[in-house]
Amino acid sequence: MIIPIRCFTCGKLIADKWEDFARRVKAGEEAGKVLDSLGVKRYCCRRMLLSHIEIADEIIKFYEVAGKGKQLRGQ
Amino acid sequence: MNVEILEKTDTNLRFVIRDADAPFVNALRRIIISEVPCMAIDEVVILENSSMIQDEVLAHRLGLVPIKTDLNAYNLREECVCKSKFGCNLCRVALTLDVEATDTTTVYSGSLVSENAAIVPVSANIPLVKLAPGQKLKLEADVRLGRGKEHAKWQPVAVCAYKNMPQIKINPKLCDACGECVKVCPKAVFAVAEGKVEVRNLLACTLCLDCVDACPKNPKAVEVTWDKNTFIFNLESTGALPPERILQEAVKILDKKTADFLKELAGEKDETS
């Protein structure tokens, strides 16, 4: 759904690094190197960012449309 | 006992403890994980939440946000002078969050407004929820001190572990610098220089003994042992407390525990037992 706040295994804070990570990987940087530069060393924390899919971004589209519908109906 | 610091950053502390024994170092590790107090959001009153994240999921996310902790100014709820389960100014800090989205937005931990400017989330960039236009979020969150044994959110550390100091001996009479141990070592402890195998990075050794297995010589040219009384201790804070403070608090707690134990042994039992 949305990026977990902490690493499931060790408890390191990872959520604050997600947006930076996602943006840089999308821009074409190598994921492993981005993780290194963000200071994510252990493989438990690395998999958190590496394997995450932000489904929230997909779901929110439905709410955006629903919100627009309400506005059109004047609710 | 003698302590030597190898590495110290804002969140990380790596040090060597010499002339100690495993029970002592392990006691320190267990106290750091389960008994050194730090702050976390414990109760959340949700006044309005029309976001796609359910109330309880949001409360859980908030609970996991590491909070900068002030151990000097605040008391543990159960030890506080107020003796109230709702807490007082000495054992609770209120955070509030009030956002209404006009565009699709992400709500970050930086939007949490604290009544004490020193007690705030470790990072202001933690995404809490995403809101679509028109969605609202209004809540009050109570921060309090707690211990890791109650819930892992009150654990001040991410990593807290130790290992014995490795001792690697290479027998120059048997070793012909074939390089098998250099190839197999996952931590690149060895290197070949001038026709000889050298130990380059002793502290990185994880004592896996792969180098001993890989050595083609019989008897083996490389011998890996460990010093039972020397430890490499690694501590990584979540950011709630500086790592050196975590260690100081752990030592204080251990001191108190041993003092209490000695008191009991001397026969000064408290009335309840």
For chain B positions 101-130, those within 8 Å of chain A (CB to CB) are: 104, 106, 109, 122-123, 125-127, 129-130
* Interface contact B126-A2, CB threshold 8 A: no
In this structure, the answer to whether residues B100 and B142 fall within a common structural domain is yes
Q: How many CB atoms lie within 10 A of CB B229?
A: 15
Band (pLDDT 50/70/90 cuts) for residue A73 is confident
In this structure, the answer to whether residues B146 and B224 fall within a common structural domain is no
Rounded CA-CA distance B88/B228 in Å is: 48
H or E element that contains B57: helix B55-64
Query: Does B68 contact A at CB distance below 8 Å?
Result: no
Residue where a domain terminates, one of B128, B152, B176:
B152
Band (pLDDT 50/70/90 cuts) for residue A70 is confident
Q: Which amino acid is at B132?
A: A
Query: Is there a domain that residue B85 lies in?
Result: yes
The ipTM value here is 0.90
* Interface contact B127-A3, CB threshold 8 A: yes
Query: Is there a domain that residue B271 lies in?
Result: no
Query: Is there a domain that residue A65 lies in?
Result: yes
Query: Is there a domain that residue B196 lies in?
Result: yes
Q: At what angle do helices A15-26 and A43-50 cross, to 10 degrees?
A: 60
Tokens, residue B195: 């026709």
Query: Is there a domain that residue B246 lies in?
Result: no
pLDDT digits (tens, 9 = 90+) for B64-111: 999 999 999 999 998 889 988 888 999 999 999 999 998 999 999 999
Tokens, residue B37: 């107090």
Query: Does B206 contact A at CB distance below 8 Å?
Result: no
In this structure, the answer to whether residues B51 and B145 fall within a common structural domain is yes
pLDDT at B194: 84
Residue A10 has pLDDT above 70, yes or no: yes
Mean pLDDT of the residues in chain B: 93
Whether the CA torsion B84, B88, B93, B95 is positive or negative: it is positive
Residue with tokens 């030890």: B79
Percent residues over pLDDT 90 in chain A: 81
Residue where a domain terminates, one of B124, B152, B180:
B152
Query: Is there a domain that residue B12 lies in?
Result: no
Residue with tokens 């008897």: B219
Check: CB of residue B61 under 8 Å from CB of residue B53. yes
pLDDT digits (tens, 9 = 90+) for B206-239: 999 999 999 998 889 999 999 999 999 999 999 9
> Mapping DSSP to helix (H, G, I), strand (E, B) and coil, where does residue A66 land?
helix
In this structure, the answer to whether residues B172 and B67 fall within a common structural domain is no
Query: Is there a domain that residue B148 lies in?
Result: yes
Rounded CA-CA distance B107/B128 in Å is: 6
> At CA B54, angle to CA A73 and CA B96, rounded to 5?
95
pLDDT at B116: 92
* Interface contact A13-B236, CB threshold 8 A: no
Section B11-25 average pLDDT: 95
pLDDT digits (tens, 9 = 90+) for B32-76: 999 999 999 999 999 999 999 999 999 999 999 999 999 999 999
CATH code, A52: 1.10.10.60
In this structure, the answer to whether residues B27 and B58 fall within a common structural domain is no
| Chain B nearest-CA residue for A57 | B130
pLDDT at B203: 92
Contacts of B109 in chain A (CB under 8 A): 16
pLDDT at B272: 54
In this structure, the answer to whether residues B124 and B226 fall within a common structural domain is no
Q: Residue A48's domain spans which residues? A: 15-73
Query: Is there a domain that residue A55 lies in?
Result: yes
Cα-to-chain-centroid distance, residue B206: 20
Query: Does B158 contact A at CB distance below 8 Å?
Result: yes
Domain count, chain B: 2
In this structure, the answer to whether residues B104 and B54 fall within a common structural domain is yes
pLDDT digits (tens, 9 = 90+) for A59-68: 999 998 887 7
pLDDT at B273: 47
Contacts of A22 in chain B (CB under 8 A): none
pLDDT at A71: 72
In this structure, the answer to whether residues B144 and B54 fall within a common structural domain is yes
* Interface contact B132-A13, CB threshold 8 A: no
In this structure, the answer to whether residues B169 and B100 fall within a common structural domain is no
Residue A74 has pLDDT above 60, yes or no: yes
Q: Residue B209's domain spans which residues? A: 21-34+165-230
Residue ranges with strand state E in B50-112: 93-100, 105-108
Band (pLDDT 50/70/90 cuts) for residue B271 is low
Residues 6+ apart with CB under 8 A from A46: A32, A35, A40
Domain count, chain A: 1
Residue where a domain terminates, one of B194, B212, B230:
B230
**How does strand B190-193 pair with strand B105-108?**
unpaired
**DSSP string for B123-143:** -S--EEEEE-TT-EEEEEEEE
Q: How many helices (H) and strands (E) does chain B have?
A: 5, 12
Section B179-196 average pLDDT: 90
Nearest CA distance, A75 vs chain B (angstrom): 11
CATH code, B208: 3.30.70.20
pLDDT digits (tens, 9 = 90+) for A22-60: 999 999 999 999 999 999 999 999 999 999 999 999 999
Query: Is there a domain that residue A54 lies in?
Result: yes
